[in-house]
Structure 1
């Protein structure tokens, strides 16, 4: 619910953004491994590179949103 806090004392929205950021960055690491594994399959390697870039963009957006909210407090 909006405005509620986790047991950590962090608001739900801040906690959620941190979680999204963490999982995006974790995804980037894994997709890079998958792309390297697919080096013999150009189409598959391109797919993994594409989703790596999308994940990076999501991570960047999460960082921006998190920074804006942390600067408000």
Structure 2
């Protein structure tokens, strides 16, 4: 698998990027839930909770894929 100058292959970098953005968004969604609850918009707060759960699951799946890449030897030196 080809690696860039950082030692990360494209797939590893992509997974890390998706994981980072999912985790960062999850942090922001907590505020969105509070905002909706404070506005009395329970349905919207529930929507933000679902989105937060989906991003949490997405980040976890990225983590699992990264572990697989690290143990397969296909990830380049940055993940092994």
Relative to the length of structure 1, the TM-score reads 0.89
RMSD: 1.0
Runs (4+) off by over 6 Å? none
Q: Structure 1: where are the runs of 5+ without partners?
A: none
Once the two structures are superposed, the pairs formed by residues 1-73 of structure 1 within 5 Å of their partners are 3-39=1-37, 40-73=40-73
* Higher-RCO chain (CA-CA 8 Å, sequence separation at least 6): 2
Q: How many residues align?
A: 71
Higher alpha-carbon Rg: 2
Q: Structure 2: where are the runs of 5+ without partners?
A: 74-80
Relative to the length of structure 2, the TM-score reads 0.82
